[in-house]
Amino acid sequence: MDHLIDEAQQYLMNTYTRQPLIIHKGRGTRVYDPNGKEYLDFVGGVAVNNLGHCHPNVTVAFQKQAQRLVHVSNLYYTEPQVKLARLLVEHSFADKVFFCNSGSEAIEAAIKLARKFSHDKHGPGRYEMITMERSFHGRTLAAVTATAQPKYHQGFEPLVPGFRYVPYNDLKAVAQAVSDRTAAILVEPVQGEGGVRIPDNDYLPGLRKLCDEKGLLLILDEVQTGIGRTGPLFAYEHYGIEPDIMALAKGLGSGLPIGALLAKDPVARAFTPGSHAATFGGNPLVCAAAIATLEVLLEEGFVLDNCRRMGDYFVERLKGLQQRHSCVVSVRGQGLLVGMELTIDGKTIVQDCLEEGILINCTMDRVLRFVPPLIILKEEIDLLINRLDGILKKRTA
């Protein structure tokens, strides 16, 4: 199968730094190469496979739907789309849902909705958005502009006007950035790509209060944190607040491409026929998978409870590594969105883990990011810790 990598390099655009691994099959928390070698997966499709690989409920749901109806235009109604929207509304702050195909598209829709709402309510001069340094909001041009990291901007200038950047977890900086042109604040409850940065407990409530005082919209990017990743179904539930708009994707479809924009009704009404659309948005096939995903999370209870318990256990075990290895700067996590910051290059550790049969991820060069399926077990965390302990010893000897 080595020829597959050669063909990939020949035919695919060079937009990813890929590991030299072909993944042929996945089950639960494990994936396998074409020769049957097993890998323990702590990447989970980058916080996508929340129920693990090929969860039977999800697999059966989209198999049945594939035999019934795969796609029709949004000029018509389908039962899976309406049922999924109802589930999301009944278990969130929102009144209305718009479906698309990815996190970037959900953020793009959120930006458009916020601008349209502000234009309708305040006129054309109030359109700016405040976003946070080291944020990550996607790859479309508006989403990459909202992403306050210069490395993602290079070569794509001129960027979309109307964005102001301030430090994350700094309420004073946000308040000082508000002007008569500000329409909304866009923020991740936890910065995942930015290094698993968790804000102070008063940060999101403070943003909510500021938005209420200034008449601004609060937009939460829960593309990575949503669908149980941090313990509750949505990360905003940790803080006792509600946004006006929220973007979802990643874990919602258990691997099928789906994004969702959720909003309160007064805001959602700014979108009317022709304001926004997505040909494949709310496709019956992906909606069937998303319904099955949510039903497992909501009805069985085990998965969210396991996420909380294993998240605490994981952080505790990683802090044990921190005590034994001076190269570990800090450990931080919320649920099973966990990061370990190092003084050494994280990419070499990722490669070492791959050779040991474990998949992990590195972000911001020196932060190991762990986003395993929410069904991960204590013994599997112990296996990672033991392998990582040996790797860190070797790298710092």
**Residue-level pLDDT at 1:** 64
Q: Which residues of the chain have pLDDT under 70?
A: 1
Instruction: Give the whole-angstrom CA distance, residue 138 versus residue 106.
Output: 9
64, part of any domain: yes
Instruction: Give the whole-angstrom CA distance, residue 65 versus residue 84.
Output: 14
> Are 88 and 108 members of one domain?
yes
> Are 268 and 318 members of one domain?
no
> Are 206 and 286 members of one domain?
yes
> Are 123 and 178 members of one domain?
yes
Question: Within 10 Å of residue 15's Cβ, how many Cβ atoms?
Answer: 7
Sign of the alpha-carbon dihedral angle for 272, 273, 274, 277: positive
276, part of any domain: yes
Name the domain count of the chain. Answer: 2
Angstrom distances, CA of residue 292 to CA of 250, 271, 363: 15, 28, 31
Question: Within 10 Å of residue 150's Cβ, how many Cβ atoms?
Answer: 9
Angstrom distances, CA of residue 1 to CA of 36, 119, 174, 356, 357: 12, 55, 52, 20, 18
Known catalytic residues? 136, 221, 250
Q: Domain limits at 289?
A: 56-300
Question: Within 10 Å of residue 183's Cβ, how many Cβ atoms?
Answer: 24
241, part of any domain: yes
List of residues 6+ apart from 209 with CB closer than 8 A? none
Instruction: Give the whole-angstrom CA distance, residue 397 versus residue 391.
Output: 10
> Are 202 and 263 members of one domain?
yes
Question: Can you point out the beta strands (E) in 188-227?
Answer: 217-221
Cβ 162 vs Cβ 128: under 8 Å: yes
> Are 235 and 326 members of one domain?
no
Supply the pTM of this predicted model: 0.97
**Residue-level pLDDT at 28:** 98
Instruction: Give the whole-angstrom CA distance, residue 373 versus residue 28.
Output: 8
**Residue-level pLDDT at 204:** 98
Question: Within 10 Å of residue 89's Cβ, how many Cβ atoms?
Answer: 15
Cβ 214 vs Cβ 238: under 8 Å: no
> Are 73 and 162 members of one domain?
yes
CATH code of 279's domain: 3.40.640.10
Is the previous residue joined to 158 through a cis bond, with omega within 30 degrees of 0? yes
Q: Minimal CA–CA distance to 167: which of 189, 144, 148, 180? A: 148
> Are 311 and 291 members of one domain?
no
295, part of any domain: yes
